Amino acid sequence: MLDSRLPLTPAESFWLRWHADDAHSPARVAQRARVLLLAGSGAPPAAIAEALSMPEAAAARAASQFARRRLSDFPRPALFLDELLAAARVDLAHAQHVARLALALFDATRSLHRLPPAQRDLLETAAKLHNVGVEVDEPNHHTAGRDLLRSLNLVGYTDQQQRMLACLVRFHRKKVRPEAEPLFAALPSARQQQTLKLAALLRVADGLDYSQTQSTRLEGVLIAPEAVTLRLSGPESEGDAARARRKADLWREIFHVPIEAATPPPERLRQLAEAVLTPESLTSEAARRALAIHLLTWQSSEAGALLGEPAAVKKVRGAARRLRLALEIFAGHLKKKPVKRLRRRLREMESVLGRVRDFDIVLADVRAYQTELTTDTHTPRLAPLIDAWAKARGEALAEALTWLSGPGEAELQTALQDFVAAPPVCDDAPLRHGARPLFQTAVAAIAEQQGTVTRNDLKSYHRLRLAIKQCRFTLEFIRPALPPPPEGADALRQADDVLADLKRMQDRLGAVNDHRLLQKCLDEFLRAWAERQAKRKAPQLFEAEDILAYQNTRRTALAQELATLAKDWAPVRASRLRPRLNALLRALAAPHLDQPIPTIEGVPDSELNTPAALR
């Protein structure tokens, strides 16, 4: 029987059980694994021989060989990550949540850890594997998990990466003593430093799901010289934050800055976002409600944006744009200096994220065009253009992620949160009075811009689009104050009709602006290509006919778009909007019809002065 001084370790028992399954190993190997499992349980060779119908000498010999050679006498399993997770019965909900938290931390703290992008994937794998030893030896699952990883080949990972993963599993709990870990000592110095940084991130991420509820969310990270503050939300966030702080000992040692946790007032934000507005509500309350709604949208999309998900990046940019417009729309009721600072910073954010959106638009268009014209015998020669734009999009995304994961983003969110919590009001009035100047400003802006639209100035369409967007958002911010059904049913329907018309025209003008952007990007590409060819002694064989053909089709599409604007323009021109919005002002003033009803004054607009470009 096995020498009592050489019992089976938990990892050995796990792999012997794995080998004992005929689905994993040849019959001879499976039989030997069964012998060792019985021997490890204390069965003598005679009992083993009887149970497995084999010679007693063979059972004794197998036990003796294992005592000398351990698992090295068995084939080394080769498993994919998902196969190992399934074999070890890992709690995937916890593992995947910790992985999401770890990646969010990685992205948000790039300026601290300065790890190469390739280590991000390794951190995700380590997070999924950190509890791989729980079913094997729960009290010592960090060492059991390390030993499991030492005894297999993880498909898709180099030997060095696997040693790093084993160290990360070992270091994810208990006191980290790297000098006592042989696997760590065998790593090159650069990999040792990377492993410790990854372990610091993993330990904090694991602490953030100490409740095992997957309910704590990382809403943002504020990096300052005195501390790194994690903005958390969720019902268990306080307890999870406390655990994360305790597990941040390695973090403090590596990064020389403590971790703090703050649970921003998401409940207060949600309360403000869901606040009921009435005609008697103060205009500043409508401003707070609008700001809270879009700040929550930003926060809820932040994690996805940090992963580079296009839809999430778009939502964050859209939230920033609406936040800025809300500050502009309600500027007359708020102190100028703080509003001006926030608007400037939000515009910078829009600019950074807008470059990603621009290249998403042109790439989607050129790829759709290529798909449309591709046949069995012909594919448009657009690869140089697509490759150039894809590269530019990658660079824009990298810049956006740097901003989103840097201190500027967290500081701006904090500043907005403080602003919403206590807005610096300078002039206030109930919405039944305060809505009129807001609508007046919006309609006047449309009247001003519609008179400047000319067919040969595509920017003039864009300026009109911005004015229409301002009017749309103003109405969106005010609409919740309209009387509810049944008495307010007609007003709500009218408001929705106006919003639908404004959105339709905004989208039409947005398509015009997208064509303008496309032509600009095409001109830049062709100009840069021509300059490169002129500098080369041997110009590349690249014909631009297909790209020029593509450019011509988009010019034709733009002309068609411009020629069909009149139908959607008519309902939202200033002279048509004025009576429609005045009807909504009357609905807001309904309880006070005995008093003068505020209405939008006449604006310089008539059917006769409509530019030809909008007829």
Find the Cα–Cα–Cα–Cα dihedral 80, 82, 83, 89, rounded to 10°.
150
Whole-number pLDDT of residue 26 = 87
Query: Which two tokens mark 122?
Result: 């390794």
State pLDDT tens for residues 413-432.
888 988 998 889 887 889 99
Structure tokens at 413: 């969110």
Tell me how far apart the alpha carbons of residues 20 and 518 are, in angstroms, rounded to a whole number: 63
Residue 597 has a pLDDT of 63
User: What's the rounded Cα separation, in Å, for the pair 613 and 457?
Assistant: 10
Which residues share a beta bridge with 430?
282
User: Is 609 within 8 Å of 463 (Cβ atoms)?
Assistant: no
Instruction: Show me where the domains of the chain are located.
Output: 10-75, 86-262, 429-514+566-615
Q: Tell the burial category of 501 from Cβ atoms under 10 Å away from its Cβ (0-12, 13-18, 19+).
A: buried
> Would you mind telling me the total number of residues written for the chain in this entry?
615
pLDDT of residue 543: 64
DSSP, residue by residue, 555-597: HHHHHHHHHT-HHHHGGGSHHHHHHHHHHHHHHHTGGGTTSPP
Distance of CA 397 to the CA centre of its chain: 12
325-356: buried (b, 16+ CB within 10 Å) or exposed (e) per residue?
A: bbbbbbbbbbeeeebeebbebbeebbebbbbb
Instruction: Please state the three-class secondary structure of 426-462 as a single string.
Output: CCCCEHHHHHHHHHHHHHHHHHHHHCCCECCEHHHHH
Query: Which residues of the chain fall short of a pLDDT of 50?
Result: 1-6, 606-608
Residue with tokens 């938290």: 101
Q: Say what the pLDDT of residue 183 is.
A: 93
| Nearest-angstrom CA–CA distance, 476 and 326 | 10
pLDDT confidence of residue 541: 57
What pLDDT score was predicted for residue 306? 75
Secondary-structure class of domain 86-262 per CATH: mainly alpha
Query: What are the DSSP E strand ranges found in 29-95?
Result: 78-79
Q: Measure the N-to-C terminal CA separation of the chain; round to a whole number of Å.
A: 97
Among candidate residues 484, 273, 522, 262, the one with its CA nearest the CA of residue 392: 522
Using an 8 Å Cβ cutoff, are 573 and 471 in contact? no
Cis peptide before 486 (omega within 30 of 0): yes
Q: How far is CA 246 from the centre of its chain?
A: 27
pLDDT score, position 309: 81
Distances (CA, A) of 48 to 6, 20, 38, 43, 573: 18, 14, 6, 6, 92
- Give the span between the Cα atoms of 136 and 438, in whole angstroms: 66
Report pLDDT for 487.
85
